[in-house]
Amino acid sequence: MAGSWVDIPADSDFSLANIPFGIVSTPNDPSSHAAVAIGTSILDLKVLFTSSASPFLTTQIIPSLAGHEHVFAQPTLNAFAELGRAVHREVRAGIQALIAADTSHPDVLRDNAPLREAALLPQRAVTLHLPMSIGDYTDFYAGYHHAYAVGVMFRGPANALQPNYTHLPVGYHGRASSIVVSGTPVRRPVGQILLDEKPVTAPSRRLDFELELGCFISRANAQGTSVAVDEADKEFIFGYVLLNDWSARDIQAWEYVPLGPFNSKNFASTISPWVVLADALEPFRAAAIPNSTPLQGYLQEPKDKKSVFDIKLEVDLTTPESDTTTVCRTSSRNLLWSFPQMIAHHTLGGCPLRAGDLLGSGTISGPDASERGSLLELSEGGKKDVLLYGMDARTFLKDGDTVTLRGYCADGNGARVGFGECRGRIYGPSSN
Amino acid sequence: MAGSWVDIPADSDFSLANIPFGIVSTPNDPSSHAAVAIGTSILDLKVLFTSSASPFLTTQIIPSLAGHEHVFAQPTLNAFAELGRAVHREVRAGIQALIAADTSHPDVLRDNAPLREAALLPQRAVTLHLPMSIGDYTDFYAGYHHAYAVGVMFRGPANALQPNYTHLPVGYHGRASSIVVSGTPVRRPVGQILLDEKPVTAPSRRLDFELELGCFISRANAQGTSVAVDEADKEFIFGYVLLNDWSARDIQAWEYVPLGPFNSKNFASTISPWVVLADALEPFRAAAIPNSTPLQGYLQEPKDKKSVFDIKLEVDLTTPESDTTTVCRTSSRNLLWSFPQMIAHHTLGGCPLRAGDLLGSGTISGPDASERGSLLELSEGGKKDVLLYGMDARTFLKDGDTVTLRGYCADGNGARVGFGECRGRIYGPSSN
Ligand SMILES: [Ca+2]
Ligand SMILES: [Ca+2]
Ligand SMILES: [Mg+2]
Ligand SMILES: [Mg+2]
Ligand code: NI
């Protein structure tokens, strides 16, 4: 792909091939509204589509947006998501055309100094907000190596996976209100935990991160109807974010029988601020982990289908002393189930999805020791120190620790498509 | 309490002592807006508070509402709920004063024929909608006799209750998008179920109801902060509804290990349309089931505290042939945990609640055989026929069956405070 007249560093997650969407407030406009990320800049879509250039854009370049320009003035991307994948595609392509080095429309933005100065802002000058209004959040458990490793820890290798695990994408309902955008400090939860087999109320001593991929839904299905797996792939996915599903292992162990995780997971989950459109990830498709279990019809995808993505994922742990160690490097291809399969399963009984719903993949770990997507696995259930730079070590997170997830795809030709950061710092329950 | 000049039948759930709030659309105003139920009528609050009587009302009778009259023109009760319990109390008392037989302000409504005709409508002339925008829905498991009976069924009497059951209010996150208002038909879910130990995809054969009490939250707590149990009781509860948490037992049995119920519960949950304010239930407080386990400090309520309500609850099962059998009669006092305890537990780790969130009590059953709040219990796990009028019988629900929950409190002096109906009819997955 040719370059852009906007300065885009070679290692930027936000290349011309990406164009992820987010919600910003800016020095000139404190109300939350839509933007895309380009290199170290943002392009303010509210400014662009309320400018005198807008009529030209919606007649000549992005006709499918005509009459819907107001979606970019809204405080979430839900209305834009609901316009459907064909519109997302056309808007992304139109923005790429505008900012391409060899743009056919230099007068619209490149050579229009007043608009360029109003609409193109440094990322560091804007505040990023939660991109979607999340009606419901569902967390799946599709990371095979994670499920297996945790199963071995609790039940041994013979019974590591529950009998249902390879038959259906196991998932549970999470807490939508607890989802926060990257950078939001996370308070260590207080909870009931067992100490010497007696419950006490105390700050969690086994606070963990979970490396996940999040998927935003673009459209609703009517209650009582289901979504076919291929329809899910083509029409129901808006885009993707990184997701850190913070987990308090000690609270979880005591509370979760028989109805699943609750306070161990509902205090905060952090997502990266930029939604990478489904189209932007298409070139990076990969095969999921093979599943030898014969699948029910509604879960079947074509045998050679590349149903997941090869996103390089990394987890950095930064100590209060500012020493950073990359504790995990893996890929989002390590999933047994694809998001279309999760959507088909979620709606099988008629559960209504809505635009803005968030699905989590479940913790993603790879087969190797360096690919473990949680401290539970890295520390082998808290038994082993995870060594860090600065002569430090962890089994679980300490107050003042910062966890940063990163993710990107690269095809070697500069078409780097990345997510930016998903970052959160832990503070103690007695501090403010 | 003295009578009303509005006709209120003696057995009405909506006596002068009740004044529950709901969302209606009317022949003259198809937009959803607020009303209260009185006898067989509704009083349209949007009409009332946009009428020429409104300034008098907000200066003389309900001053705390001044400037907030627009909350009754909104399509949900969320904004009204957020005004706080002192305002709910004053509005309810003000409406009671207006419609009392001996009202001191007969000119406002009683003798104001044009306003009376515009604002007082027969209930059968209006359409009832979901009363709140529900951000998150949490279902607890506080019905002690239900948890015990189901535990005996699966694990025997010695291990009926899980070790955590008496230490904390066990709960899980439900599916907010699936909540529907009374009268909405419910499609029997298709799901993965085990037949001869092999999974198949089929309509549920073990479709059940669950008799629950629902509690709506009136205000938010900031993420990272917790709500004390007495603060929860005084300030965080807007009101109550009946809740039927439809459950597919066969889907549940196969899917729920290890992360809890998912598709077995997320296809639909039905609530009654009228929110009975917390204040209206105050006279009907009762002691919860005694818990001999020493409680953590954050769950402790005064020893003699009447922390739950004695609401008479009934479940009717109506066959497709229109024969109705009352299959359960019990009381909402059969809870081990109060809603304030559930709220204190829910927020212990900092989980943010928001106005409009719904908490379910869990299935309410009493100690006797006639008090079982689910078919799972009534049919002893599907082993025993539940006999119905019309020479019929059930283990689980058939297509065309209607389940109706009813609930009311009565003090014998005409101060009947009831919920109206929470009703749903099952249709087959192949019909439309
Ligand atoms: Ca997770
Ligand atoms: Ca339930
Ligand atoms: Mg979480
Ligand atoms: Mg339900
Ligand atoms: Ni307002």
- Domain ranges in chain B are 21-129, 137-427
Kindly report the average pLDDT of chain B as a whole number.
96
What is the bridge-based pairing of β-strands A276-277 and B276-277? unpaired
* Secondary structure of chain B as H, E, C letters: CCCECCCCCCCCCECCCCCCEEEEEECCEEEEEEEEEECCEEEEHHHHHCCCCHHHHHHHHCHHHCCCHHHHHCCCCHHHHHCCHHHHHHHHHHHHHHHECCCCCCCCCCCCHHHHHHHEEEHHHCEEECCCCCCCEEEECCEHHHHHHHHHHHHCHHHCCCCCCCCCCCEEECCHHHEEECCCCEECCEEEEEECCEEEEEECCCEECCEEEEEEECCCCCCCCCCCHHHHHHHCEEEEEEEECCEEHHHHHHHCCCCCCCCCCCCCEEECCCEEEHHHHHHHEECCCCCCCCCCHHHCCCCCCCCEECCEEEEEEECCCCCEEEEEEEECCCECCCHHHHHHHHCCCCCCCCCCCEEECCCCCCCCHHHCCCHHHHCCCCCCCEEECCCEEECCCCCCCEEEEEEEECCCCCCCEEEEEEEEEEECCCCC
Q: Which of A136, A150, A166, A337 has the most B C-beta neighbours within 10 Å, making it the best mutation to test the interface with B? A: A136
Residue of B nearest to A431 (CA): B224
Alpha carbon of B173 to ligand 5 centroid (Å): 30
Are the C-beta atoms of A75 and A31 separated by less than 8 Å? yes
Sequential DSSP letters for A34-63 = EEEEETTEEEEHHHHHTSTTHHHIIIII-G
Residue of A nearest to B197 (CA): A163
**pLDDT in the model for residue B1:** 54
CA distance A164 to chain B (A): 7
> What is the token pair recorded at B40?
């067989």
Residue of A nearest to B356 (CA): A177
Are the C-beta atoms of B76 and B133 separated by less than 8 Å? yes
**pLDDT in the model for residue A2:** 65
**pLDDT in the model for residue B432:** 47
Q: Which helix (DSSP H) or strand (DSSP E) does residue A207 occupy?
A: strand A207-208
Distances (CA, A) of B194 to B22, B258, B399: 41, 17, 21
Separation between Cα atoms, residue B291 and residue A204, nearest integer Å: 26
Separation between Cα atoms, residue A135 and residue B179, nearest integer Å: 12
**pLDDT in the model for residue A412:** 75
Query: Is the pLDDT assigned to residue A155 strictly greater than 90?
Result: no
What Rg, from alpha-carbon coordinates, does chain B have?
22
The per-residue pLDDT for range B220-241, each reduced to its tens digit, is 999 999 999 999 999 999 999 9
The per-residue pLDDT for range B113-137, each reduced to its tens digit, is 999 999 999 999 999 999 999 999 9
Query: Is the pLDDT assigned to residue B60 strictly greater than 50?
Result: yes
Contact B297 A351 (CB under 8 A): no
**pLDDT in the model for residue B431:** 59
- Determine which one of B105, B146, B345, B346 is catalytic: B146
Q: What's the mean pLDDT in B149-158?
A: 90
**Catalytic machinery residues of A:** 146
Q: What's the mean pLDDT in A180-192?
A: 98
Q: What's the mean pLDDT in A149-177?
A: 94
**pLDDT in the model for residue A236:** 98
- Determine phi and psi for A78, rounding to 5 degrees: -55, -45
A-B C-beta contacts closer than 8 Å:
189
The share of chain B scoring above pLDDT 70, in percent, equals: 99
For residue A214, give the nearest of A260, A267, A171, A164 by alpha carbon: A171
Contact A258 B259 (CB under 8 A): no
The per-residue pLDDT for range B375-394, each reduced to its tens digit, is 999 999 999 999 999 999 99
Equal fold, B21-129 vs B137-427: no
Under the phi-then-psi rule, with left for phi > 0, alpha for psi from -120 to 50, and beta for the rest, what region is B264?
A: alpha
Alpha carbon of B257 to ligand 3 centroid (Å): 19
Q: Whole-model pTM? A: 0.97
The count of other CB atoms within 10 Å of the CB of residue A340 is 24
Distances (CA, A) of A157 to A151, B215, B426: 7, 43, 43
> What is the token pair recorded at A26?
């800016």
**pLDDT in the model for residue B430:** 76
* Residue B252 assigned to a binding site: yes
Alpha carbon of A212 to ligand 5 centroid (Å): 38
Separation between Cα atoms, residue B128 and residue B275, nearest integer Å: 12
Confidence category of residue B412, pLDDT binned at 50, 70, 90:
confident
Separation between Cα atoms, residue B351 and residue B343, nearest integer Å: 10
Separation between Cα atoms, residue A9 and residue B277, nearest integer Å: 59
Q: Fold for domain A137-427? A: Fumarylacetoacetate hydrolase; domain 2 (3.90.850)
Q: How far is CA B401 from the centre of its chain?
A: 21
Kindly report the CATH number that applies to the domain delimited by B21-129: 2.30.30.230
Are the C-beta atoms of B367 and B333 separated by less than 8 Å? no
Q: Which of B140, B161, B173, B342 has the most A C-beta neighbours within 10 Å, making it the best mutation to test the interface with A? A: B173
Alpha carbon of B70 to ligand 5 centroid (Å): 6
**pLDDT in the model for residue B2:** 66
**pLDDT in the model for residue A432:** 46
In the annotated binding site of A for substrate, the residues are 141, 155, 252, 256, 363
Least confident window among B1-5, B214-218, B316-320, B375-379 = B1-5
The per-residue pLDDT for range B256-286, each reduced to its tens digit, is 988 999 999 999 999 999 999 999 999 999 9
Query: Is the pLDDT assigned to residue B64 strictly greater than 90?
Result: yes
Query: Is the pLDDT assigned to residue A89 strictly greater than 70?
Result: yes
